[in-house]
Structure 1
Amino acid sequence: MSDDGGLWLLALGPAGATSLYWFLYRYYRNTDKSHAFERETAVDAKPVTGSDQKVDEVKGTRETRIRGDNVSAYRERVRRIRSDSS
């Protein structure tokens, strides 16, 4: 039969796609070579320090803007960085 000769070519497509997928998966994921942070890293936890200080209290949603915002003051929000070397 002459059809048997082309059967390997037909099977080459899915086999090639599967091997390419597996190669790319192993290359980019490389799970066997990755660093296991949870097992290999020691983290010493320390107590949290600091203080809480109540500044102000706003009840309800009557104010539509935040006091002291700088939305309209573009020049104050964004400053050009000047280099001293010029």
Structure 2
Amino acid sequence: MSDDSGLWLLAAGPAGATALYWALYRYYRNTDKSHAFERETAIEAKPVTGTDVKVGEVRGTQQRRIDGDNTGAHRRRVGRRR
């Protein structure tokens, strides 16, 4: 009986794992089929328009929380809109 008969089985594990990883990578990344935004999209830049208006100022506050925050009401915060 030859010891080489089980050697292919030892090589099949890493080879199969590598093939599976590569197949999943190609399936989910599909870089050859993806849209290359930087090369395929023309964007015309325009000057920025608008104004800045100062609406208020807060100085020297000692409050640790913002009035009306909803950090304690998780269900209300992430609830579905009806």
Same fold, TM exceeding 0.5?
yes
Residues 16-74 of structure 1 deviation map (CA, whole Å, 9 limit, x = unaligned): 00110111111111111111000000111111111122333444x236377xx5x18xx
Aligned match of 2:48: 48
Q: How does 1:1-80 map to 2 (within 5 A)?
A: 1-59=1-59, 61-62=60-61, 64=63, 69=67, 71=68
Rounded to whole Å, the distance in 1 between the matches of 2:62 and 2:30 is 53
Judged with a 3 Å threshold, the aligned counterparts in structure 2 of structure 1 residues 3 and 53 are, in CA distance, closer, same or farther, namely same
Count of matched residue pairs: 71
5+ residue gaps, structure 1, are 73-80
Runs of 4+ in 1 over 6 A off after TM superposition: none
- RMSD value, Cα: 2.6
Percent identity for Structure 1 against Structure 2: 76
Judged with a 3 Å threshold, the aligned counterparts in structure 2 of structure 1 residues 4 and 63 are, in CA distance, closer, same or farther, namely closer
Rounded to whole Å, the distance in 2 between the matches of 1:10 and 1:62 is 67
Which is greater in Rg? 1
